[in-house]
Amino acid sequence: MTDTPDAAADFRCGYIAIVGRPNVGKSTLMNALIGAKVSITSRKAQTTRHRITGIQTRDNAQFIYVDTPGFQTRHSNALNRTLNRTVTNTLTAADVILFIVEAGTYGAADKQVMELLPANVPVILVINKADRMKDKAVLMPFAQQVAAERSFASVVPVSAKQRFQLDALEKEIERYLPHNPPAFGPDDITDRSEKFLAAEIVREKVFRFVGEELPYTSTVVIEKFEEEGRLRRIFAAILVERDSHKAMVIGQKGAKLKEISTQSRLDMEKLFDAPVYLEIWVKVKSGWADNEAGLRAYGYE
Ligand SMILES: Nc1nc2c(ncn2[C@@H]2O[C@H](COP(=O)(O)OP(=O)(O)OP(=O)(O)O)[C@@H](O)[C@H]2O)c(=O)[nH]1
Ligand SMILES: [Mg+2]
């Protein structure tokens, strides 16, 4: 018999759902918390379309973050219904919830997400983009206004972009994690495959480099993913609704597609830490976003 505390019994591990309306910075925050870019981000709303796990392992705890799509309140098609189902499913499996709002704005879309939050799980109110508040004195009354809507385990203002207050947030989360042994290896950063991450990276470039509306009517599939020693050979297709969209993705003399390809390849090489050969084709496939069976075939849950 010994009195030494059992280190394994002290270890904490759990699932942390990251939810909020579109564009509040959920994915940027998750990437900042784990120190790697596994979830794509852009200044356009509705960038995230899948549940994406990001893992951070410390000496005493493993944080399994689950980034989710921004909750859709505008119009209902099969894609948006699928995105919202992903959010509600993630909430039911969470040990801790981060409810993200943007500093200074709290509206109907935020309220709708708040109403989904289960009563018996600790919810931390995270006020992101605190860097945007020129007058810091306004932050306090804003926090009080949102905190009056429901009871929160704690309230933490952060800036995901400037990595402000992330240690404080992590400490707060750790307090609410259950005692469990680690579920993943110490070096794991996600449970998603390289093939999935490759498709996401290409989709991010479409969001970032092609017009305002097109990203919402397109998706990306990986048609072939081969490994040859360290080299990854990746053949991707960007699916669009019509010929005119195809022309927009390809651009003048192919310039747009070239930009998408180059930036995608650089991101893949960084994330996979390996050389990448990438070919991207653009294909017209209309109606893909409004067909449940089709969505499943493209990897939507
Ligand atoms: N100024 C500032 N901008 C931020 C911060 N965090 C995120 N952003 C920006 O906000 C935009 C949206 O970020 P995302 O991380 O893609 O937001 P999201 O909530 O995941 O969006 P969806 O997946 O579309 O729901 C991007 O342009 C980010 O650079 C922050 O702390 N400060
Ligand atoms: Mg996102």
Ligand 1 contact via 159 beta carbon (within 6 Å): yes
In a domain, 189, yes or no: no
Residues 251 and 123 both lie in one domain: no
In a domain, 199, yes or no: yes
Q: How are beta strands 61-67 and 12-19 bridged, if at all?
A: parallel
| Average pLDDT for 127-133 | 95
Closest atom of ligand 1 to 132 CA is: 1
Q: How far is the CA of 27 from the centre of ligand 1 (A)?
A: 7
In a domain, 24, yes or no: yes
In a domain, 1, yes or no: no
Q: Tell me how far apart the alpha carbons of residues 120 and 126 are, in angstroms, rounded to a whole number.
A: 18
Residues 206 and 136 both lie in one domain: no
Ligand 1 contact via 128 beta carbon (within 6 Å): yes
SS3 category, 109: helix
Residues 20 and 121 both lie in one domain: yes
Ligand at minimal distance from the CA of 29 is 1
Residues 11 and 150 both lie in one domain: yes
Q: Tell me how far apart the alpha carbons of residues 13 and 8 are, in angstroms, rounded to a whole number.
A: 11
Q: Which of 122, 147, 176 delimits the end of a domain? A: 176
In a domain, 215, yes or no: yes
- 212: domain CATH number is 3.30.300.20
Q: Tell me how far apart the alpha carbons of residues 243 and 285 are, in angstroms, rounded to a whole number.
A: 9
The answer to whether the CB of 289 falls within 8 A of the CB of 79 is: yes
Residues 199 and 161 both lie in one domain: no
**Closest CA to ligand 1's atom 24:** 46
Number of folded domains in the chain? 2
List the shell of residues around ion ligand 2, using CB closer than 5 Å: 26-27, 47-48
Ligand 1 contact via 132 beta carbon (within 6 Å): yes
Confidence (pLDDT) at 72: 87
Confidence (pLDDT) at 199: 96
42 pLDDT tier (thresholds 50, 70, 90): very high
Angle between helices 194-209 and 255-272 (to 10 degrees): 140
1 pLDDT tier (thresholds 50, 70, 90): very low
The answer to whether the CB of 11 falls within 8 A of the CB of 91 is: no
The answer to whether the CB of 25 falls within 8 A of the CB of 160 is: yes
In a domain, 182, yes or no: no
Residues 42 and 134 both lie in one domain: yes
Residues 171 and 244 both lie in one domain: no
**pTM: predicted TM-score of the whole model, two decimal places:** 0.93
Residues in the chain: 301
- 18: domain CATH number is 3.40.50.300
Which tokens is 113 given? 């997400």
The answer to whether the CB of 98 falls within 8 A of the CB of 153 is: no
The answer to whether the CB of 20 falls within 8 A of the CB of 110 is: yes
Domain span at residue 131 reads 7-176
Does 3 score more than 70 pLDDT? no
Residues 25 and 133 both lie in one domain: yes
Residues 72 and 211 both lie in one domain: no
Closest atom of ligand 1 to 159 CA is: 31
Residues 20 and 139 both lie in one domain: yes
Residues 96 and 210 both lie in one domain: no
Residues 157 and 261 both lie in one domain: no
Least confident of 141-150, 151-160, 174-183, 207-216: 207-216
The share of the chain scoring above pLDDT 70, in percent, equals 97
Ligand at minimal distance from the CA of 80 is 1
Does 156 score more than 90 pLDDT? yes
